[in-house]
Amino acid sequence: AGSQIQGRAGIPRQGRRRKSVAIAYEAGQDEGAEPRRARWEPRQWREQLQRIREMRSSRDAPVDDMGVQKCYDSSAPPQVKRYQVLLALMLSSQTKDQVTSAAMLRLRQRGLTVDSVLQMDDETLGQIIYPVGFWRNKVKYIKQTTAILKQKYGGDIPSTVEELVQLPGVGPKMAHLAMHIAWDSVAGIAVDTHVHRISNRLQWVKKETKHPEQTRVALEEWLPRDLWKEINWLLVGFGQQTCLPVKPRCSQCLNQDICPAAKRL
């Protein structure tokens, strides 16, 4: 009952008092209010990022020549291009760029569209995409997803992350990359194993993260939005060439003197 009683005249209720303080120091109008805390960001991250840009300036990592952005037919109609982007992303999971690129080339040689895949039997599709990782599961997911695209989206792919991750075989990283590449829209940061690993090594996350999705959330809390699209491309290539999963090439890294992990590796 006490919670329903109005405060006495001149004495605001506790809930109101909290609200007014929050508004005051959001707007910076209350001189007595505690100053707003600065947003957390990693030490020396701008310098680290610039050095990674320098190391990636030659654009000669596998992702540069054979990444998903190079796997679709640029002369195809927009709807077909978007479908090919999504398919390349589905094939790329747990698969080297070289293998994904070769599988996409074989698919495109047969005419890669929603209808051509729906008309293809599972055995033939499996033979074409082999040896991508988990190819049997991917045959199933590709056929299921393609049928959904035909029935629900008129043969196109969804234009939101929320809808993309509902498709069989499509995870958050694929969805964000599909938004970047297929729709030229930045809805979030695409975090794969390279971005996840390097973000933790550089301590670009406030606390160590265990999974790529945790890393994505942590990065999006502080990384300026205009860098969200670039960061995947930069770190993937950097992870393929220098900051390797095992035996990273710290001696060749321009960040060796300012990388928290360099001395431990």
- Give CA–CA dist 51/49, Å, rounded: 5
Closest to 169 (Cα-Cα) out of 87, 82, 112, 97? 87
Is the separation of the CB atoms in 84 and 76 below 8 Å? yes
Q: What angle do CA 208, 191, 225 make, to 5 degrees?
A: 95
Is 229 known to be catalytic?
no
**C-alpha 207: how far from chain center:** 19
Three-state SS string over 202-219 comes to: CCCCCCCCCCHHHHHHHH
The type of residue at 119 is Q
* 3-class SS of residue 72: coil
* 3-class SS of residue 40: coil
- Give CA–CA dist 149/133, Å, rounded: 23
Is the separation of the CB atoms in 24 and 235 below 8 Å? no
Is the separation of the CB atoms in 40 and 222 below 8 Å? yes
Q: Among 138, 143, 173, 229, which one carries the catalytic annotation?
A: 173
User: Which residues are known to be catalytic?
Assistant: 173
